[in-house]
């Protein structure tokens, strides 16, 4: 700094303040302080799909069943056991003895109420995912029977997701929309205080059913939107953990012996949407040429500083039924150029929809523009505000555009339905991609009861989608968190859930 | 008589100004592309859910109608509900005003302390090294971006020296003082150069004024002349300048609250703009406008109190 700092006037204040507050920074016991980049908006599990909301209320709601730690299968949660009828249409769940944090028992009627609310409430964001449920019944306090309209392979996965959180019927009815501020659940933690825009304080739920858990006395989520400030807070020891480590700070933090960086398996994938409704992008060979001209390795090295992996499928690396051997296009600008010539494509200009001010989008934009220039394609970087980019994609007002995806459920059905089925509502993630063979396979896989057969169907879907270039796969990347070295188990599962009931601070 | 009329009239002038501000902020925030419902429901919500939510918040109504509803509700003392947070705006805003006021007051205090100290120093050592250093600072300081300065101060005082917390607000007034020191200093370092230049210049003018020479010739001590005459008379333009800068100061808190995670109105404003939480942006803008107008009002009164010659 080039100017004279006002040292002469401040030393007294500096010293006095430091002395007075030395005591205030004493160690806070078993409360895990987490600095995160966004604040919550609501704790009502059916009115949101925002990750910052879900990651917090995951800690105080239970579901009937839950995804296991690596999100490859189901394990019991409130339901100890379950039976499925041979035709796959009747699911019977037997509940364990559990209590809500207000002391009332978790009843089968609460389960029925919660699932039907997720299916029927007109503002329930993911209600279509619950539509396979025809009837839900509670023959006694500890038995829940779900009757389906037909067999549904992803149902258990859906029942393990945040929107299927089991809420106490009496509390939801008494509070109405205010329930989202005063949540009552049966999970490992309870909400103690929500200081909007500042912090969310959770305390251990003494009534939690799993013996010996949670290990922590509480959790404090602190809202620190600035990336640098968040990492500095961790370095200074003011928080125990911090989310969303910027890629360019990972190495520096790894070098700090007081800090550990967790790069956890994830279902995150970044890709370039291609608008099939615009000529000549309706031509499969042209799309293939574009794909071959894009150097995935260069992009992943620049954007994620080498911490990501080039993607060979639209299924996530750490997700169910991902095919690691799915054939990918090699980077081959010469061949790409030749294909374009053969197809008679000259002077192609593409409008690239990007989010302004987003570092990754800036980098991808520059690299793609440069790479496609080598095959004679001009790319116009159309940088927009986030909501505007989203509108451009939804309205089909783009040629290519950057997007990303993290799975909500571990079952691949949701992603296949949304991204390649050609469903008229979202038109394959607004790309207008439609292949009847793929649509048919997606529908068949959704009801296939044999896991091995189903897997083969998804392998086939991945292969055809890649061959069709429904979009251009970019890269997979891990979730990136950092914590002080005395924190154990500050990890996310591949769906993004923080597994904090088993986390701990050791001294 | 003129003075009393002024004190009665000015609050009445508020009404058209605030109406104008409300209309402009309404039009601006609605003209930004994007949609709060999309932010809220994310990329995978179906059209029917989006429609239902939009209808719930009256966002399906024509713009003019939405504005009239907003005014009608304001007149009835109803500020409406945040679309994103799903709670009443007063509830969202009330807790946020205190940290922002605290930060503003603290920043003004530090700015004034720094500005007076350095300007007096510069004036007394006119042309010599202290003066030159202060002038370098008062020029260079004008161009310092607050977000950059904030991070530099954090690295220096929090990470290297461990004297102050990186961010946050604290629980007690003493903790507020501790937590808000660096953010206030950031604002003060950016604001004080303007004040220093102004105060130094007036000090120099006053030091050469005839009445000062007269006082000197009567053998009054130099320190007494400076304190009683030069300093006091130089302060008036600086206070006016501080009042004029209150709008700039509020803008400064918006940036600084982001960098230092201060849970104030500024960070609420930023997150609400990003989320297109229309009503919150409109209400907070009105609150800021009201603050600026009231401060200017108070500055006018203070100026009169300091110098009875000034007419309003």
What is the ipTM metric for this complex? 0.84
Q: How many CB atoms lie within 10 A of CB A349?
A: 9
DSSP string, A213-252: ---SSEEEEEE---HHHHHHHHHTTSSSEESS--GGGHHH
pLDDT beyond 50 at A35:
yes
Fold adopted by B89-306: MetI-like fold (1.10.3720)
Q: What is the pLDDT of residues B176-232, one digit of tens each?
A: 999 999 999 999 998 999 999 999 999 998 888 888 888 888 888 888 888 888 888
Query: Which residues, 6+ apart, have CB-to-CB distance to B259 below 8 Å?
Result: A226, A229, B146, B147, B150, B151, B154, B167, B183, B186
Tell me: the pLDDT tens digits for A112-144? Answer: 999 999 999 988 888 889 999 999 999 999 999
Distance from C-alpha of A95 to C-alpha of A85, rounded to nearest angstrom: 18
Please report, for residues A64, A330, A394, A470, A473, the alpha-carbon distance to residue A312 in angstroms, rounded to integers and kept in the order given. Answer: 34, 10, 25, 13, 7
* pLDDT at residue B296 in the model: 81
Could you tell me whether strands A31-36 and A218-223 are parallel, antiparallel, or unpaired per DSSP bridges?
parallel
**Residue (of B73, B189, B43, B36) closest to A273 by Cα position:** B43
CA distances from B201 to A459, B112, B120, B208 (A): 77, 16, 10, 11
Kindly calculate the radius of gyration of chain A based on its CA atoms and give it in whole angstroms.
25
Report d(CA A450, CA B154) in Å as an integer: 58
Whether A123 contacts chain B with CB within 8 A: yes
pLDDT at residue B312 in the model: 56
Radius of gyration of chain B (CA): 24
Judging contacts by C-beta atoms under 8 Å, the chain B residues touching residue A197 are 96, 263, 267-268, 271
Nearest CA in chain B to A417: B44
Q: How far is it, in rounded angstroms, from Cα A284 to Cα A276?
A: 9
pLDDT band at A20 (very low <50, low <70, confident <90, very high): very low
Contact A181 B87 (CB under 8 A): yes
Q: Is the dihedral of CA B105, B111, B114, B116 positive or negative?
A: negative
> Among A29-38, B49-58, B107-116, where is mean pLDDT lowest?
B49-58
Domains and CATH numbers, chain A: 31-39+187-266+479-505 (3.40.190.10), 61-173 (3.90.76.10), 269-476 (3.10.105.10)
**pLDDT at residue number A443:** 96
**A49 reaches B (C-beta below 8 A):** yes
Test A225 with B271 for CB contact under 8 angstroms.
yes
Helix, strand or coil, per DSSP, at residue A22: helix
Which chain A residues are closer than 8 Å to B44 by Cβ?
49, 126, 408, 418, 426
A49 contacts B263? CB cut-off 8 A: no
Separation CA A435–CA A314 (nearest Å): 15
Calpha distance A215→A504 (Å, rounded): 6
pLDDT given for residue A102 in this prediction: 95
Alpha-carbon gap, residue A504 to B290, rounded angstroms? 48
Measure in Å the smallest separation between the Cα of B123 and chain A Cα atoms: 16
Q: How far apart are the first and last CA of chain A?
A: 39
Question: Which residues have CB under 8 Å from A96's CB, separation 6+?
Answer: A76, A78, A79, A80, A209
Bigger pLDDT: A42 or B300? A42
List A74's β-bridge partners, or say none.
A67
- The region that residue A58 occupies, defined by phi over 0 for left and psi between -120 and 50 for alpha, beta otherwise, is alpha
The candidate with the shortest Cα–Cα distance to A115, out of A101, A133, A97, is: A133
Chain B residues whose beta carbon lies within 8 Å of the beta carbon of residue A387: 32-35, 38-39, 276
Structure tokens at A75: 């394990």
Among all residues of chain A, which has the CA nearest to that of B56?
Answer: A123
pLDDT at A22 over 90: no
Mutate to test the interface with A, among B40, B110, B151, B193 (most CBs of A within 10 A): B40
| Range in A6-15, A80-89, A480-489, B273-282 the model is least confident about | A6-15
* Cα four-point dihedral sign B174, B178, B179, B183: positive
For A193-221, the pLDDT digits (tens) are: 998 888 999 999 999 999 889 999 999 99
Residues of A in contact with B169 (CB under 8 A): 198
For residues A314 and A274, give the distance between their C-alpha atoms in angstroms, rounded to a whole number.
13
SS3 assignment, position B9: helix
Mean pLDDT of A32-53: 92
Closest CA to B166 of A494, A232, A488: A232
Choose among B114, B151, B263: nearest Cβ to A195.
Answer: B263
Domain segments of chain B as ranges:
12-75, 89-306
Cα separation of B262 and A453, whole Å?
54
The answer to whether A7 faces chain B, any CB pair under 8 Å, is no
Which residues, 6 or more positions from B262, have their beta carbon under 8 angstroms from its beta carbon? B99, B100, B103, B167, B168, B169, B179, B180, B183, B253, B256
Tell whether the model's pLDDT for residue B3 goes beyond 80: no
CB contact under 8 Å between A196 and B95, yes or no, is yes
Q: Is the CB of A3 less than 8 angstroms away from the CB of B137? A: yes
Q: Which residues of A touch B187 (CB under 8 A)?
A: none
Can you list the alpha helix ranges (DSSP code H) found in A108-195? Answer: 108-120, 155-159, 169-175
B217/chain A closest Cα distance in angstroms: 33
Residue A10, pLDDT above cutoff 60: no
CA dihedral for B76, B101, B246, B92, sign (positive or negative):
negative
> Distance between CA A65 and CA B175 in Å, rounded?
44
Residue of A64, A38, A72 whose CA lies nearest to A118: A64
Q: Report d(CA A164, CA A61) in Å as an integer.
A: 9
Composition of chain B by helix, strand, coil, percent to 5: 80, 0, 20
The region, left, alpha or beta by phi > 0 then psi within -120 to 50, assigned to residue B193 is: alpha
Task: Select the residue from B167, B187, B194, B268 to test the A interface by mutation, using most A Cβ atoms within 10 A.
Answer: B167
**In terms of CA atoms, which chain A residue is nearest residue B168?**
A198
**Chain A residues closer than 8 Å to B272 by CB:** none
């Amino acid at each position: 700094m080039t100017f004279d700092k006002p040292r002469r006037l401040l030393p007294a204040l500096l010293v006095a303040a430091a002395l007075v507050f030395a005591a205030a920074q004493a160690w806070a016991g078993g409360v895990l302080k987490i600095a995160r980049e966004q604040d919550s908006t609501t704790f009502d599990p059916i009115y949101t799909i925002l990750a910052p909301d879900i990651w917090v209320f995951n800690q105080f709601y239970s579901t009937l069943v839950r995804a296991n730690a690596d999100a490859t299968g189901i394990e019991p949660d409130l339901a100890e056991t379950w039976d499925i009828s041979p035709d796959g249409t009747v699911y019977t769940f037997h509940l364990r003895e559990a209590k809500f944090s207000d002391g009332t028992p978790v009843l089968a009627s609460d389960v029925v109420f919660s699932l039907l609310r997720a299916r029927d409430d007109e503002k329930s964001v993911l209600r279509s995912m619950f539509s396979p449920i025809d009837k839900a019944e509670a023959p006694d306090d500890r038995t829940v029977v779900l009757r389906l309209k037909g067999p549904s392979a992803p149902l258990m996965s859906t029942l393990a997701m945040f929107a299927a959180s089991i809420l106490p019927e009496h509390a939801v009815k008494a509070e109405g929309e205010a329930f989202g501020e005063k949540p009552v659940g049966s999970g490992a933690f309870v909400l103690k205080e929500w200081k909007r825009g500042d912090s969310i304080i959770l305390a251990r739920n003494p009534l939690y059913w799993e013996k010996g858990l949670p290990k922590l006395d509480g959790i404090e989520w602190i809202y620190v939107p600035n990336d640098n400030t968040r990492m500095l807070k961790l370095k200074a020891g003011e928080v125990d953990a911090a989310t969303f480590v910027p890629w360019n700070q990972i190495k520096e933090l790894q070098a700090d012996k007081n800090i550990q960086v967790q790069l956890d398996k994830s279902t995150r994938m970044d890709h370039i949407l291609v608008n099939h409704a615009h000529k000549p992008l309706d031509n499969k060979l042209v799309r293939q040429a574009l794909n071959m001209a894009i150097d995935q390795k260069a992009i992943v090295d620049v954007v994620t500083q080498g911490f990501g992996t080039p993607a060979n499928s639209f299924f996530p690396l750490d997700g169910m039924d991902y095919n690691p051997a799915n054939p990918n296009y090699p980077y081959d600008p010469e061949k790409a150029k030749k294909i374009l010539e053969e197809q008679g494509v000259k002077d192609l200009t593409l409008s690239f929809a990007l989010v302004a001010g987003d570092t990754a989008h800036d980098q991808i934009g520059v690299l793609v523009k440069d790479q496609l220039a080598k095959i004679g394609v001009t790319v116009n970087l159309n940088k927009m505000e986030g909501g505007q980019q989203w509108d451009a994609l939804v309205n089909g007002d783009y040629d290519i555009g950057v997007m990303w995806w993290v799975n909500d459920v571990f079952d691949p059905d949701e992603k296949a339905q949304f991204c390649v089925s050609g469903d008229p509502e979202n038109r394959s993630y607004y790309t207008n991609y439609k292949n009847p063979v793929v649509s048919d396979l997606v529908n068949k896989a959704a009801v296939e009861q044999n896991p091995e057969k189903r897997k083969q169907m998804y392998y086939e879907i991945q292969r055809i989608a890649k061959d069709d270039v429904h979009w251009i796969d970019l890269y997979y990347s891990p979730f990136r968190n950092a914590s002080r070295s005395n924190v154990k188990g500050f990890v996310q599962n591949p769906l993004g859930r923080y597994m904090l009931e088993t986390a701990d601070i050791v001294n | 008589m003129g003075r009393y009329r002024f004190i009665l009239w000015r609050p009445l002038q508020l009404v058209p100004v605030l109406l104008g501000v409300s209309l402009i902020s309404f039009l601006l925030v609605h003209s930004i592309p994007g949609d709060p419902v999309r932010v809220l429901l994310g990329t995978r919500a179906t059209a029917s859910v989006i429609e239902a939510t939009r209808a719930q918040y009256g966002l399906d109504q024509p713009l003019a109608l939405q504005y009239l509803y907003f005014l009608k509700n304001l007149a009835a003392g109803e500020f409406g509900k945040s679309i994103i947070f799903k709670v009443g705006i007063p509830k969202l805003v009330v807790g946020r005003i205190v940290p922002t006021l605290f930060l503003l007051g603290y920043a003004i205090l530090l700015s004034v302390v720094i500005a007076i100290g350095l300007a007096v120093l510069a004036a007394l050592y006119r042309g010599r090294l202290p003066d030159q250093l202060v002038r370098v600072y008062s020029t260079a300081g004008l161009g310092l971006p607050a977000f950059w300065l904030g991070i530099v101060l954090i690295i220096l005082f929090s990470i290297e020296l461990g004297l102050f917390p990186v961010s946050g607000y604290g629980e007690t007034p003493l903790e507020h003082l501790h937590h808000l020191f660096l953010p206030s200093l950031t604002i003060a370092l950016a604001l004080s150069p303007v004040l220093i230049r102004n105060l130094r210049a007036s000090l120099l003018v006053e030091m050469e004024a005839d009445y000062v020479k007269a006082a000197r010739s009567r053998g009054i001590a130099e320190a007494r002349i400076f304190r009683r005459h030069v300093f006091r008379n130089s302060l008036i333009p600086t206070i006016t300048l501080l009042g004029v800068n209150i709008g700039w100061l509020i803008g400064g808190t918006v940036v600084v609250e982001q960098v230092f995670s201060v849970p104030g109105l500024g960070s609420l404003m930023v997150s609400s703009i990003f989320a297109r939480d229309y009503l919150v942006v409109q209400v907070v803008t009105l609150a800021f406008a009201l603050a600026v107008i009231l401060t200017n009002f108070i500055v006018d009164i203070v100026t009169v109190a300091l110098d009875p010659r000034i007419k309003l």
